[in-house]
């Protein structure tokens, strides 16, 4: 059985929807890609899943602005680790680190695929793992390549297609760079 992940987006700082229906849909479950673009077109990705995408997107952005997540410079090099020692040092020089946090947070774009009649909440961990594996095969810059699917649910589809028809051409190019255009299959 094949299931399609229907990708939407991007959203992020300066690109959050004002349409109430889209905003409401973001409170649903699904998988997502958090992508930051740096000098020379370098992409750094993170694949995740959540029962409320909007809440999870907020966590990502808030952590960056609160200095509790790694921050990168314009080339994509980590310049701030986000650990407690780094935060304590940064509090003494907020004028220097605040622009870095704002710039890196501003690079974030989220693309997402909502759960539907065939892609169930029970599949979230599995699909997150498939996305992580696919990105790792295609790109060395993934920030969470260590997570793996938990317990395999019953009646798991053996093929996961990525449907990019709902995104613009620039988004399609980013998604194809990360995920390719061939189906994802179970290992």
At residue 150, the pLDDT reads: 54
pTM recorded for the entire structure: 0.92
At residue 154, the pLDDT reads: 62
Average pLDDT over residues 104-127: 92
Domain residue limits, the chain: 10-152
Least confident among 15-19, 88-92, 108-112, 169-173: 15-19
- Nearest-angstrom CA–CA distance, 183 and 177: 14
**Do 81 and 57 touch, CB atoms closer than 8 A?**
no
Average pLDDT over residues 127-136: 92
Confidence of residue 38 (pLDDT cuts 50, 70, 90): very high
At residue 54, the pLDDT reads: 95
> At residue 60, does pLDDT exceed 80?
yes
Share of the chain above pLDDT 70, in %: 94
The average confidence (pLDDT) of the chain is 91
At residue 148, the pLDDT reads: 54
């Amino acid at each position: 059985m094949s299931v399609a992940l229907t990708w939407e987006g991007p959203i992020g700082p300066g690109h959050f929807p004002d349409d109430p229906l889209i905003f409401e849909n973001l409170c649903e479950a699904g998988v997502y890609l958090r992508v930051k673009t740096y000098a020379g077109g370098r992409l750094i990705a993170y694949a995740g899943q959540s029962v409320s995408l909007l809440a999870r997107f907020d966590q990502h952005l808030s952590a960056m602005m609160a200095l509790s997540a790694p921050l990168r410079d314009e080339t994509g090099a980590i310049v701030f680790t986000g650990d407690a020692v780094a935060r304590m040092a940064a509090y003494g020089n907020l004028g220097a680190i605040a622009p870095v946090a704002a710039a890196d947070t501003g690079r974030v774009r989220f693309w997402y695929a909502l759960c539907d009649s065939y892609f169930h909440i029970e599949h979230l961990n599995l699909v997150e793992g498939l996305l992580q594996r696919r990105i790792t095969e295609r790109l060395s810059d993934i920030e969470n390549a260590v997570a793996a699917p938990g317990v395999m649910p019953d009646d798991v589809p053996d093929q996961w297609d990525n449907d990019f028809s709902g995104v613009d051409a620039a988004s399609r190019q980013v998604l194809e760079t990360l995920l390719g255009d061939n189906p994802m299959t179970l290992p």
